[in-house]
A = this chain, B = another copy of it.
Amino acid sequence: MLSADQLANLRIVLVDTRNPLNIGAAARAVSNFGFSSFRLVHPYDVAFQGARSAVGAAKILETAEVYETLPEAIADCTLIVGTTAVRHRELHLALRRLDAGAKVIQKHLAQKSTPHRARGKNRNAAASLRANRVALLFGSEKFGLSNEDLSHCHWLMRIPTREEHISMNLGQAVAVCLYELIRDPKKTAAFERLPEKLVPANAGEVERFTNILTEALSLSGFLDRRTVADADDRIRRLVRRLKLPQRDADMWTGIMRQIVWKLNHPNHE
């Protein structure tokens, strides 16, 4: 699980994005998943801050950093990862699936580098350890990352979409990647809870219900004891299959008792 500082050291970099809605959606995912460093390289529409769909992402859009070129946007990072939908292009780069790639990124963010100066002149200066920063690049909606963009990457990552429709919407791709990066099955929250384990009714409670149900079936005309010899057994098995919970047994018996009463007093108001 990444710390807040480590989350802040992932730079989400959008290159040549055309649609301000996608910038807004990406910013929203950045905020949803607790990241904060959002960088735009050469966005086609510089009026991106008006991105309508960015509910709750205003702060991310305000602090977004805009760069003219990719090298400027990634200069402070030690690991550059590109995202791609492409499978069969002659890639010179390694390609990891999202889940495997996210593990490598998490590990890199969790480590710190010791600058040479700190080692030489100030061996105990733990504070001068340099946090690793990672850039995660997303290309334009139409063309993805260019070959020049790719040449800045250490390796590539892909989302496991199906072969016949590999290309995702940009905002959705960002959301899925960031979700995988914060995914942590070990972490549970206090408000999460499993379905209640229902205590089953005991045989006495089940039998009380069975008896009153049998009476209702008889009174209503559903049950014709002359044609079905083992009617009582059938009804008992029917009720057993219900798995009546203990907490509801009295309620069901009460409901049926009321029905029986009404069947016996059809004209009573």
Contact = CB atoms under 8 A, between A and B. Distances in A.
A67 B162 CA distance: 28
Interface residues of A, number: 52
A122 interface: no
Interface in A170-203: 171-173, 175-176, 179-180, 182-185, 187-189, 191-196
Q: How many identical subunits does the complex contain?
A: 2
B32 A97 contact: no
Contact of A175 (B21, B158, B176): B176
A171 B171 contact: yes
B176 A94 contact: no
Contacts of A169: 25, 28-29, 53, 55, 171, 175
Nearest to A174: B172
Task: Say whether chain A's binding surface is mostly helix, strand, loop, or mixed.
Answer: loop
Contacts of A32: 159, 161-162, 165-168, 172
Nearest to A141: B55
Given A176-B176, A182-B160, A165 B97 contact: no
A169 to B, nearest CB: 5
Nearest to A154: B195
Contacts of A252: none
B95 A183 contact: no
A64 to B, nearest CB: 16
Closest 3 CB pairs of A and B: A172-B175, A94-B195, A32-B161
